Structure 1
Amino acid sequence: MRVAYNEQMNALSKILGEMAGLAGSAMERATQSLLQADLSLAESVITEYDQIAALSHQAEERAFALLALQAPVAGDLRSVVSGIQIVADVDRMGALALHVAKIARRRHPNHALPEEVNGYFAEMGRIAVALGAAAQEVLISRDPERALRLREEDEAMDDLHRHLFTVLMDRNWSHGVAAAVDVTLLGRFYERFADHAVEVGRRVVFLVTGTLPSDEDHEIDLAHGR
């Protein structure tokens, strides 16, 4: 029974790592499609989201099967429950990349972004991809110290997101309401992608140590707006 449990948990961890890798790749291509008005890249992100969704379903099935068939307790139960929660976060990361690609597709052949904010989104995309790769890394390594550092790396994303609003509120903004709405939504998508990556890190810390980092330390609020 123990061998079977370990094998199933390893398979679940592998799926979660693969999902995180796909989500990071999707955000990288979604960002390129946004900055370059590249329809083919946007379409590839939209089409390939089905792969993330399928893996998410597969991971949930494995996790619930472990609960039903293995009846885990203590640390084993913590691992399974954490796995279920991580599935939701990583799936959401993929969905947020999908939202970025859909805006790029909707505005094609025009650019969705005014040129003056391209630099913001190029950097936000870089940070998001790096956080996606870090989430994949900690899912594989289960290193709690590395997992905790994701929050520090997310601070740059939060700064960029705040600065975007100063651009939007500037009286010299001349790109109209539709562009302002797109920029607001896109900024939120990148910020949420990063937040979910950080939450993966928090769950890994809980999985390994049994202690969930406090909201005072990490200031993550996933209850408002997915």
Structure 2
Amino acid sequence: MREVFQQELREVQERLVEISGFVAVSIENATRAFNESNVSLAESVIADDDKIDAAAQELDELAINILARQQPVARDLRIVVSALRISASLERMGDMAEHIAQLARYRFPDKVVPKSLRPTFASMGALDVEIARKLVELLKSEDVAIAEDIRNTDDKVDALHLSVFDKVLGETWKGEAIDTVDATLASRYHERFADHAVSIAKKVQYLATGDWIPADA
């Protein structure tokens, strides 16, 4: 019976890795669609979000089934409960990628943001892709060094996010109202994508070490 339970826990981890892989592909395609004004790629991201949602729901059902049948305790219980919370964060990361793709589709054939902000968004997108790839490795290995790396990379995303606000609120900003709205939304989506990854990293770090990282750390 214990062997079956351990196999189910391994399946939970494998499914988390699979979903994080879907999310990594989604954000990579979404940022490309956003930066290149690629409507077909944007539409593929939007369509593929259903796959992420379905995979997350299936994982949740597995985890709830394990809780009901196995009644795990101690670390095993933390693993299953954490999986439910990580699944929710991965689903939200997929939503953020979808929102970025939707902006690209809505503004096609134009690009979403003015020329002056495009390098900033290219950098922000590249960092989100980097974070997503690191998250896949973190969920595979539970290597706390990767968790720290994700948090450090998130700091760079936050700095770029603030720079977008400084730009659109500055006296030299000449964008139209729609440009301001689009830039603000897009920046927020990128920033929230990274924030959800940090939330996952903290949970994995806790599982690996037993030490909880405060929300503001």
Aligned-CA RMSD value: 1.0
Gaps of 5+ in 2: none
State the one-letter code of the partner of 1:78.
Answer: R
The alpha-carbon deviation at position 78 of structure 1 amounts to: 0.6
State the one-letter code of the partner of 2:205.
Answer: V
Is this contact kept in 2: 1:20–1:90, CA < 8 A?
A: yes
How do 1:45-60 and structure 2 match up within 5 A?
45-60=45-60
How do 1:1-226 and structure 2 match up within 5 A?
1-217=1-217
TM-score, normalising length: structure 1: 0.93
CA distance, structure 2, for counterparts of residue 56 and residue 216 of structure 1: 27
CA distance, structure 1, for counterparts of residue 27 and residue 100 of structure 2: 8
Secondary structure, in 3 states, of the residue corresponding to 1:112? coil
CA distance, structure 2, for counterparts of residue 112 and residue 153 of structure 1: 24
Gaps of 5+ in 1: 218-226
The alpha-carbon deviation at position 209 of structure 1 amounts to: 2.2
The alpha-carbon deviation at position 108 of structure 1 amounts to: 1.1
1:118-174 Cα shifts (integer Å, max 9, x gaps): 101111011001111111111110112322331112111011011111110122222
CA distance, structure 2, for counterparts of residue 197 and residue 148 of structure 1: 11
Secondary structure, in 3 states, of the residue corresponding to 1:137? helix
State the one-letter code of the partner of 2:151.
Answer: R
1:34-69 Cα shifts (integer Å, max 9, x gaps): 111111000010011111011101110111011001
1:155-201 Cα shifts (integer Å, max 9, x gaps): 11011011111110122222211110000000000000001111111
CA distance, structure 2, for counterparts of residue 42 and residue 50 of structure 1: 14
CA distance, structure 1, for counterparts of residue 54 and residue 216 of structure 2: 35
The alpha-carbon deviation at position 113 of structure 1 amounts to: 1.1
CA distance, structure 1, for counterparts of residue 52 and residue 60 of structure 2: 12
The alpha-carbon deviation at position 216 of structure 1 amounts to: 3.9
TM-score, normalising length: structure 2: 0.97
Tell me whether 3-12 or 208-217 shows the greater mean CA deviation.
208-217
Is this contact kept in 2: 1:34–1:113, CA < 8 A?
A: no
Secondary structure, in 3 states, of the residue corresponding to 1:215? coil
Secondary structure, in 3 states, of the residue corresponding to 2:80? helix
> Aligned pair in 2 of structure 1 residues 216, 189: CA closer, same or farther (>3 Å)?
closer
CA distance, structure 1, for counterparts of residue 197 and residue 27 of structure 2: 12
The alpha-carbon deviation at position 110 of structure 1 amounts to: 1.5
Aligned to 1:224: none
State the one-letter code of the partner of 1:65.
Answer: N
